[in-house]
Chain A
Amino acid sequence: MHNIYLKQAIRGIKSNPSRTLLTTLGIMIGIGTVILVLSAGEGFKSYINSQVEAFGTNTVIVQTSIPASTKSRSAAGGTSGEAKNSASNAVPITTLKIRDVEDIRQIPNVKNAYGASVGQQIVTYKGISKTSFIFGASAARFDIDKGVIAKGRGYSVQEDKGLAQVAVLGNSIALDLFGSEDPLGKLIRVGNYNFEVIGVYESKGSFGPMNEDEQVFIPVTTLQKKIQGIDYLIYSVVELQDNSKADATSLDIADVLRHNHYINDPSKDDFKVQTQKESLSTFDTILQAVTFLLIAIASISLVVGGVGVMNIMYVVVTERIGEIGLKKALGARGKDILYEFLIEAVLLTIIGGVIGILGGSFLAFLISKVAQSMGLAWKFIVPISGVIISVSVSMIIGVVFGVFPARNAARLDPIVALNRE
């Protein structure tokens, strides 16, 4: 096959490879950023997914929430009418009880459920003290949650009901308190009580304020009655039989809670039922907004890169005026010259785009490696759609910014061009 346009364009690019690389720097950085943002976004999403799935794959979360219509009753209700998660609020909602969780368990599509409360306490073992989140949950949590107990066991329903002083430790805190010592059977002090360590979790690989590796897990009733002196829960995790009916079951859960809490008007709900899909979609919305913003910034680099390519194409046309004249003398039409230069510009931007894709992917790979070394379930994903879009955008930039210099070349008068050499 003799594709003259391509052949001539490649010859042009080969004539000055280092200039080619520099010319396409803007495109490289722009496309590289786009790929990096998209890939890191996918990686972050994979991590969030793994975190959400850690609650169990077929779960619905019931959280307490300040009723939208009674925000005036709440000191920190804010000015918006939106329901707020009471866990992050100064005024706790006290209506979610163990009894609600028991009633939710009776709903047909519900397989299992647990209630949870969280408090902060100083945990001490042999003079080593740590301030830790104390996570109180029903024994059912051990069936629902994906966390694996590496050593020992979880507590039983009887232990929960009997206010047993037993604890399962997160991986990091166990290491901090015990070092190489075997924690099983040892007594740790939580607040004013001694707890027997009966189990240690495998590392979950999370970070942030709710890092489960740093937490101490005890029966929720023990936490409520002995440590916190309360009888309410912050949230409940409900495991479903059939996740495809999650939306319908959510409504059933809401009905049960409204009945228990004497609520007639859904706007006065003091709870929020969130399916996994919903929690992910909230996160997706935020991620999309951030992605959009970053790509918008990267586009500036793409435009600058495009102008750079246009600039160099003008230089190239001037450099090759004699050659253009010769080609016209040999029978090249304006169209032929136009295509040669246009394809050269597009090749330039595609080269930049491909290098950008490789570079961006490499950086995203490094990020995933760093995240993984921190123990996060972060996958390295380069979205194929991102690659296709990047290559297309590179081509479009080549055409848009290449067409003016190429047209200049095509319009050259053969004799004027020949005589310039």
Chain B
Amino acid sequence: MLIELKNIIKNYVNGDVVTRVLRGINLRIEEGEFVAIMGPSGSGKSTLMHTIGFLDRPTSGAYLFDGENTENFTDDELAKIRNNRIGFVFQSFNLLPRTSVLDNVMLPLLYSGTKISYENRAKKALEAVGLGERMDYMSNQISGGQKQRVAIARALVCDPKVIFADEPTGNLDSKSGATVMNILEKLNKDGRTIILVTHDMQVALHANRIVTIRDGEIISDVLVPEKDRVHSKEVKEDE
């Protein structure tokens, strides 16, 4: 079991007002799954993803990651998990400005403290998303779709077990979005766990399992029958 949430509660306290964002989430995700978390805005799906991604700590409940209870992990230990066992892909790409594509992809490696050849790893990750030719471009010189592929390369570079993608196609046109989804599918096919947050059913249908959340509770958790799944073909972008 890669991820196991037991009765996760997250409250935000603002003065006297307590907002209950997650109201007892129980969720198990196996290694190799492709899970889409769906729900309307304000449902708590982003908070759930942040909690699973160790960007935020739950108010209560147990979170076992790869069999380990993470409740008492220090901030530095959590940083280490974020660094080399998790990869993030954000809706707004979040590349460092004024920095080359290659340097952007290398960034997690630099924080990892490993002694391996950063450049080779970063180049391989860029080749995996089809951007081996663009590594010397600055991050603002490439298209949105390419930016998101760079972000995926960056998420991949430390060889994590799981990739979190928060509305990865939200800021992309359909062509670029298809390319990004195609890459995520490939990564999943190679055995990597993908957790995708979206409100778009067409995007969610790429996954093999859809978890729907509303008002901080899971209201459905279904496997997608293979016949219903959407598969993006590799689209040649106009570059």
Contacting pair A330 B50 (CB below 8 A): no
Interface size class of A (residues with CB under 8 A): 20 to 34
Return the contact of B108 from the options A14, A322, A331 (Cβ within 8 A). A331
Contacting pair B99 A328 (CB below 8 A): no
Q: How far is the CB of A336 from chain B (nearest CB, A)?
A: 6
Point out the residues of chain B lying under 8 angstroms from A326, CB to CB: 90, 94, 96
Point out the residues of chain B lying under 8 angstroms from A71, CB to CB: none
Q: How far is the CB of A323 from chain B (nearest CB, A)?
A: 7
Majority secondary structure of chain B interface residues (helix, strand, loop or mixed): helix
A210 to B108, CA, bound (A): 73
| Interface pick from A41-49, A211-219, A413-421 | A413-421
Q: How far is the CB of B91 from chain A (nearest CB, A)?
A: 11
Contacting pair A328 B98 (CB below 8 A): no
Known A-B contacts A11-B99, A329-B88, A421-B94; the reply to A2 vs B79 at CB < 8 A is no
Known A-B contacts A2-B118, A4-B110, A415-B50; the reply to A330 vs B98 at CB < 8 A is no
Can you list, as one digit per residue, whether each of B209-227 has a CB less than 8 Å from chain A (1) or not (0)?
A: 0000000000000000000
* Chain A residue at smallest Cβ distance from B107: A330
A136 to B160, CA, bound (A): 95
Point out the residues of chain B lying under 8 angstroms from A413, CB to CB: 56
Can you list, as one digit per residue, whether each of B75-110 has a CB less than 8 Å from chain A (1) or not (0)?
A: 110011011100010101010111100010011101
Scan residues 242-272 of chain A and give those whose CB is less than 8 A from a CB of chain B. none
Point out the residues of chain B lying under 8 angstroms from A335, CB to CB: 76
Interface size, chain B (Cβ < 8 Å): 29
Tell me whether A115 is interfacial, beta carbon within 8 Å.
Answer: no
Return the contact of B55 from the options A4, A329, A336 (Cβ within 8 A). A329
Point out the residues of chain A lying under 8 angstroms from B80, CB to CB: 331, 333
Return the contact of B88 from the options A322, A330, A333, A421 (Cβ within 8 A). A330
Known A-B contacts A327-B111, A330-B111, A331-B82; the reply to A2 vs B94 at CB < 8 A is no
Extra inter-chain contacts (17) besides given A15-B98, A414-B55, A421-B92, CB under 8 Å = A4-B111, A11-B96, A326-B96, A328-B82, A329-B55, A329-B82, A330-B83, A330-B111, A331-B80, A332-B79, A333-B79, A333-B111, A334-B75, A335-B76, A414-B56, A414-B82, A418-B90
Rank and list the top 3 A-B pairs by shortest CB-CB distance, nearest first. A331-B83, A4-B110, A415-B55
28 contacts between A and B (CB under 8 A): A2-B110, A4-B107, A4-B111, A11-B96, A11-B99, A322-B94, A326-B94, A327-B107, A327-B111, A329-B55, A329-B88, A329-B94, A330-B82, A330-B83, A330-B107, A330-B111, A331-B79, A331-B80, A331-B108, A331-B111, A332-B83, A333-B80, A334-B79, A335-B76, A336-B111, A414-B56, A414-B82, A421-B94
